[in-house]
Amino acid sequence: MTGGGLLIAGTTSDAGKSVVTAGICRWLARGGVKVAPFKAQNMSLNSFVTREGAEIGRAQAMQAAAAGVEPSALMNPVLLKPGGDRSSQVVLLGRPVGEMSARGYFGDPGVPPSPGGARRAGRREDLLETVTDCLAELRRTHDAVICEGAGSPAEINLRRTDIVNMGLARAARLPVVVVGDIDRGGVFASLFGTTALLAPGDQALVAGYLVNKFRGDVTLLEPGLEMLRGLTGRPVLGVLPYAHGLGIDEEDGLRLSLRGGVRESAVAPPHGRDVLRVAVVPVPLMSNFTDVDALAAEPGVVVRFTDRPEELADADLAVVPGTRGTVRALAWLRERGLAGALARRAAEGRPVLGICGGFQLLGERIEDEVESRAGTVDGLGLLPVRVRFEAEKTLARPVGEALGERVEGYEIHHGVAEVAGGDEPFLDGCRTGSVWGTHWHGSLESDGFRRAFLRRVAADAGRAFVPAPDTSFAALREEQLDRLGDLVEEHADTAALLRLIEGGAPEGLPFVPPGAP
């Protein structure tokens, strides 16, 4: 196999494209195939920094881990980071090039350019050439590239400017497998309707379907699978069962912010007498909330996302995660009474951890002429820190030491922190009393440091909590990725998938009317 390819599309967002792509990458890698993931255009506030200092979607970094390769900017050439309801920061080949409205990004000639050249970067012709060049380079250096689509390929309002679904498939002659989430209901209508809304040239590349998140006896589904094949002329290449507790990186925090923003982790029994309760504040434009995944992996640690002041007050540790809107998050915390709850925790000596944007808003003052353009704003005043936003974004992979343990992390921020005191330095940030702040994402994935930090938190909270001595977050993540590979290997037609990857979509696939208007 040389330079094979496959595009995993979905009937909707959250149909399972990311995990199916990761599962196929892991299955191929275990079989000795040199495979890489690819997503031409990603919209996500969860991002990662490669060793070369490029920013990409965190889902693509997870998929690279599944493939056993080092993540690179080639795997996610266009990243859109929402900064509000109508605008996003455009990150091109790992570097931010400016802010742009949705209309401007998709080439509306009436939208004026924004600073930093984002208008030029947003032209479809330029972007399509960029993403196809990146894909071609990956195909040249790998046996196979498994591409992930975005949203649905049947978003007919966006087809003219599409570079991530059928636009990419047509340009690179990629066979397409469409994933449908049966747990949502209506999977047959979704798969059929997605195909029937595509133009003939797009339909010619749709080679089959995968049903995802199935619960129950698959034999009950088989009559429907056969009818779908009869209606479309395309086979269902597998029915993947619903898998609990995968904990694989999600692309965004939208679902966590719905209806109060509550999500609970599965909890293993504690190693000591007590559990440790962690409350994570789902701030607006929350980014890299995956920082708390390593806490949730610890036996006896209960992680809960909540926007209720009483639940924040009751927790043993409060975490304020990153955000793409620090000033907006500050106002939101004050409006909901959460700022007061954090201040009371600090006054009582109860632990608070701020990460990146969460660290910034815990400080005394923020000068922002870049992100919100709000000028000078008072922070919560819980840490002796002043933050000034710079146009140049910091993208780094720092290594250091804290609490006597080696720590690795990554930084993604425009704010530059000036630390003027504190009880002790903390990962280029500081600690004052029981309040900790750092710009470093991913630090809690360092096992020794995480255990040392939790021991301090437990002591401050008065809990008889003891971190388990042998929890390895990296090993747990590998187990999860292997489970994804198992799902594909055991429940998909892997021979058919290999034929598509090596030979492309078969000739003569029937047209399903009416097609795109």
Residue 316 carries which side chain, given as an amino acid letter?
A: D
Residue 238 bridge partners (DSSP): 492
Question: In what side-by-side order are the strands of the sheet with 411-419?
Answer: 375-378, 365-368, 385-396, 411-419
134 is catalytic: no
Give yes or no: 356 in active site: yes
Query: What does the alpha-carbon distance between residue 84 and residue 87 come to, in Å, rounded to a whole number?
Result: 6
Order across the sheet with 301-305: list the strands: 301-305, 276-280, 317-320, 352-355, 435-438, 429-432, 424-426
SS3 417: strand
500 vs 205: CA distance, rounded Å = 10
CA distance 444 to 383: 20
What is d(CA 239, CA 272) in angstroms, rounded to the nearest whole number? 41
Greatest Cα pair distance in the chain: 71
Single-letter code of the amino acid located at 362: L
Check 356, 414, 430, 491 and give the catalytic one.
Answer: 356
Structure-token match 């809690």, residue found: 444
Q: What's phi and psi for 378, nearest 5 deg?
A: -75, 130
Reference 279, options 248, 310, 255; nearest CA is 310
3-class secondary structure, 319: strand
Q: Are 110 and 91 in contact (CB under 8 A)?
A: no
Q: At 187, list the tokens.
A: 């999977």
The torsion of the CA quartet 370, 375, 379, 385, rounded to 10 degrees, works out to 70
Which stretches of 223-264 are assigned E, i.e. beta strand?
236-241
The catalytic site residues sit at 356, 441
